[in-house]
Amino acid sequence: MNLHPDRVRLLASLGFNFIARIPGLAAVFLILPLVSRSLGTASYGEFLSALALGGAFTVPLGGLNAVGRRLLASAFGAQDAPRQASVFVTTTLLTGCLALLGALLLVLLSGRTWTAPVFIFIAMLPLMLGFLNTFDNLRACYNEHYVTAQFQLVSQSVIYALVLLIGLPPGAIAIAGLTLQGPVALASGATLVALLVKRPFLLSGKVAGIGGMLLPALGVMLADGALGLLMNLSVYWLNFSHHAEMAAWFGTFGRLFQSFLQPVLLVVLPVTSYISMRWGQMPRERRRLLHQLFIVAGFGYGLIVGGAMAFFGPLYIDHMFKLSTHGDRFDVLGLSLFMGAVIAQKTYSMLIYAVSEARFVSFGTALACVVGVGAAALSSLWLPAVRVLDVLFLAVALGIPAVLLTGGYRYRRELQPAERA
């Protein structure tokens, strides 16, 4: 293998990403059970619903991060420093404004729905993390995601070790939130500082091309955002409709899913950033092959995750948590199929978002979610709240594969005529 510097940095990112994931497993299997025992089932369910609601408000940030990452990677590949600086400044400004707007709306819309004001602070944490995650994405454009991974390894190891040694005080809601969200936030902040120290010219950029960022970001938001909203708002809705114990079960199941989602992000983020820098110079046959590879990989890993969630999810929650309410086999089936479909969509869409606006997959995914919501709304006429969510997740899980297969076929077909010419 010709290990020129770009490939060395890619391999370093992949290696450090997986090493940094080891403390993250401690958060799922050691720290989260501590949080549950410290808060009690009712407060723990409200705690997870606050995190879920805050996560729902980060949807626009994800869209801007995806578009900003694509534009910055393209500018870096062309060695256009002024354009890099403009993309950096514009992306930072837009995500910062949206994070502040989201925080304001969150307080106005949900401020009186919590049993204690501290839950508003908990709901704010994902917004803070979503804004800081902007700099992880932008750093990845330089094929240097290993820097972020190193910071995460240190921050998670130190904070989780302290919590395991000292423990969590009973009812310490704010400390529990900072324990789960703080290490990643610190690492992202350190990533920003290191990025600007190495490339101070990024601060000299001008705000430009806002419309060119917002419109493609809307497509990403409709796709990934719709999927994230369904999971996050379902947990908040259960708590809001006085099913806090069931919200705790659903939220814990979702937290476990995030540990399975992380390998996708750890591998696909640096790889797609590397691909996006070279996409314009790649032969069409290689582009078509990459489309096929990412679809197959997405469906394959989605099947593995769906099966693992269905089998290990209930065992994990039953043995690690003392929750008073548990989902049954229909809840497990709906969530597992939905999460497997999310894995497949995330794997393929990260490639598409890195090299194009991906309108078909974006709007198709959003349409599948709308159909799922419609089916759930109809079923609510005769089914209880938890069964309505089962219908929602099953309907979306059936729609997403159809969108991905059709979209992949369309993108590959677009490359064929030029190839034959």
Q: What is the per-residue pLDDT across 116-153, written as a single tens digit (0 to 9) for each? A: 899 999 999 999 998 998 888 888 777 777 778 788 88
Average pLDDT of the chain?
Answer: 82
**What would the pLDDT profile of 291-339 be if each residue is shown by its tens digit?**
888 888 888 888 988 888 888 888 888 877 777 777 788 888 988 999 8
CA 173 from chain centre, in angstroms, equals: 23
- What pLDDT is attached to residue 14? 65
Residue 1 has pLDDT above 50, yes or no: no
46-60, 239-253, 314-328: which is most confident: 46-60
- What pLDDT is attached to residue 173? 92
CA 120 from chain centre, in angstroms, equals: 21
Cα separation values, 325 from 37, 321, 335, Å: 15, 11, 16
- What pLDDT is attached to residue 396? 92
- What pLDDT is attached to residue 242? 67
Residue 222 has pLDDT above 90, yes or no: no
Please report which confidence band the pLDDT of residue 225 belongs to, taking 50, 70 and 90 as the band edges. low
Contact 326, 381 (CB under 8 A): no
Please report which confidence band the pLDDT of residue 12 belongs to, taking 50, 70 and 90 as the band edges. low
**What would the pLDDT profile of 20-52 be if each residue is shown by its tens digit?**
667 777 777 788 888 888 888 888 888 988 888
Please report which confidence band the pLDDT of residue 9 belongs to, taking 50, 70 and 90 as the band edges. low
Residue 416 has pLDDT above 70, yes or no: no
The candidate with the shortest Cα–Cα distance to 103, out of 126, 73, 80, 133, is 126
Lowest mean pLDDT among 145-149, 162-166, 379-383: 145-149
- What pLDDT is attached to residue 237? 77
The rounded distance, in Å, linking the Cα atoms of 216 and 260 is 28
Residue 223 has pLDDT above 60, yes or no: yes
- What pLDDT is attached to residue 235? 81
Residue 18 has pLDDT above 70, yes or no: no
**What would the pLDDT profile of 257-281 be if each residue is shown by its tens digit?**
877 776 666 677 777 777 777 777 7
Residue 418 has pLDDT above 80, yes or no: no
Residue 419 has pLDDT above 50, yes or no: no
Is residue 265 packed enough to be buried (19+ CB in 10 Å), middle (13-18) or exposed (0-12)? middle
- What pLDDT is attached to residue 8? 66
Collect all residues with Cβ–Cβ distance below 8 Å to 148 and sequence separation of at least 6. 136, 139, 140, 187, 188, 191
Helices 359-379 + 210-220 axis angle, to 10: 50
**What would the pLDDT profile of 195-217 be if each residue is shown by its tens digit?**
999 899 999 888 887 877 777 77
Taking residue 22's Cβ as centre, other Cβ atoms within 10 Å add up to 11
Collect all residues with Cβ–Cβ distance below 8 Å to 190 and sequence separation of at least 6. 151, 155
For residue 4, give the DSSP letter.
-
The rounded distance, in Å, linking the Cα atoms of 147 and 214 is 28
Cα separation values, 162 from 23, 56, 166, 210, Å: 12, 30, 6, 43
For the segment 167-178, the average pLDDT, to the nearest whole number, is 90
Contact 252, 259 (CB under 8 A): no
**What would the pLDDT profile of 94-111 be if each residue is shown by its tens digit?**
999 999 999 999 999 887
Indicate if the alpha-carbon torsion angle 379, 381, 387, 389 is positive or negative: positive
